[in-house]
Amino acid sequence: MEAKAVAKFVRFGPRKVGQVLNLIRGKSAEEALRILKFTPRSSALAVEKTLKSAVANLRSARDPGQMRITEAYVGQGPTLKRMRPSAMGRGAQFKRKTCHITIKIENIELRK
């Protein structure tokens, strides 16, 4: 069985979130949560929240150790245009990037 969680309009750049997703792709959900807990990136909190949502969406298994991340990818969201004070009373525009995080997990079948 497979479950999916999507976090949209997350206010981090897609490149920085992609670096965090590369750490957990293909791992079990329990191991990925451990990795994210000690990852020194602020975007790791958003990825952890999305992963916990995917685990909750998969109702067939209760143990995160029995779940494996099959897909983890990030897409670019809309760019928010903001103003910052600049020299001589002017305003300078800067762009705040957003992204969409998608994580799919599946239940690992126990083989004896």
- Is pLDDT at 64 greater than 80 in this prediction? no
| Residue 61 binned pLDDT confidence (cut-offs 50, 70, 90) | low
The pLDDT assigned to 112 comes to 45
> Is residue 23 one of the residues assigned to a domain?
yes
Q: Is residue 81 part of a domain?
A: yes
Quote the pLDDT of residue 60. 67
pLDDT confidence tier of residue 111, bands split at 50, 70 and 90: very low
- Where in the sequence is the domain holding 35, given as residue range(s)? 2-107
* Count of domains observed in the chain: 1
Strands (E), the chain: 2-10, 67-76, 80-85, 91-96, 99-107
pLDDT digits 0-9 by tens, 38-48 = 999 999 999 99
In a domain, residue 112? The reply is: no
Task: Flag whether the pTM goes above 0.95.
Answer: no
Distance CA 16, CA 49 (A): 16
